[in-house]
Amino acid sequence: MQNIKLIIFDLDGTLVDAYAAITSSFNYVLCRLGLKSQSNRTVRRLVGWGDINLLKPYVPQKDLKYALSLYRTHHKYSLLKHSHLYPYVRPLLRRLKEKGYKLAVASNRPSKFSRILLRHLDIGIFFDYVLCADQTRYSKPHPEMLNKIVKRFALKKSQALYVGDMVIDAQAGRRAKINTVIVTSGSSSKLDIQREQPFRIISAISRLLNLF
């Protein structure tokens, strides 16, 4: 790990717990469309693939565009009310910056909502670069997002570490050929994560510094 110069973080489920905000906006949409609301557990399993894919399984195709508009309008305010950092995130980011690491975000969220979270939770100052799914052709688990971030810093992939919480993060890291740490605080089970054989699995983001 001595060669690492860049640490790329996923956002939801890794640094930020916004599941209550997502569930609130999701069920608001279903209510407006006269559809049955879903449990926190059900919605949690859908998180990580972007908001369009979040809605697709439960919203008729003909209503999807309208549903997405409803969701995004509601979600601007839901994030401010229902999201928070996981324990130790801010001290962790501060410590990594003090150690001289470049820090970046790679999120399947639209950039607008990622920046709302970073600003609201007061951690945007720690990141040198933020790249989201609406800024790339492909979202994770495709490796494009990670590849673009490494290229931006003109580094070798062996000098980067990716930290996420889901199976798709492990897959993206492997496809990009970047060592990946998966924290089990998100929406993928530990068993599913283990099947992907990431570089490391940790139980909490606070344990990341132990790897250095």
Q: What is the DSSP letter of 86?
A: P
Tell me the CA distances in angstroms from 98 to 121, 124, 154, 164, 178, one per residue in order.
Answer: 20, 15, 21, 22, 23
Annotated active-site residue 12? The verdict is no
Tell me the CA distances in angstroms from 165 to 11, 41, 184, one per residue in order.
Answer: 9, 16, 6
Residue type, 86: Y
**Tokens read off for 130:** 């933020």
Please state whether beta strands 84-85 and 102-107 pair in parallel, antiparallel, or not at all (unpaired).
unpaired
Count of alpha carbons within 13 Å of 141, Cβ hemisphere only? 14
Evaluate whether 38 touches 58 at the Cβ level (below 8 Å): yes
Residue tagged active-site, from 10, 12, 51, 165: 10
**Tokens read off for 127:** 């990141």
**Dihedral angle of Cα 37, 116, 181, 102, to the nearest 10 degrees:** 170
Catalytic residues: 10
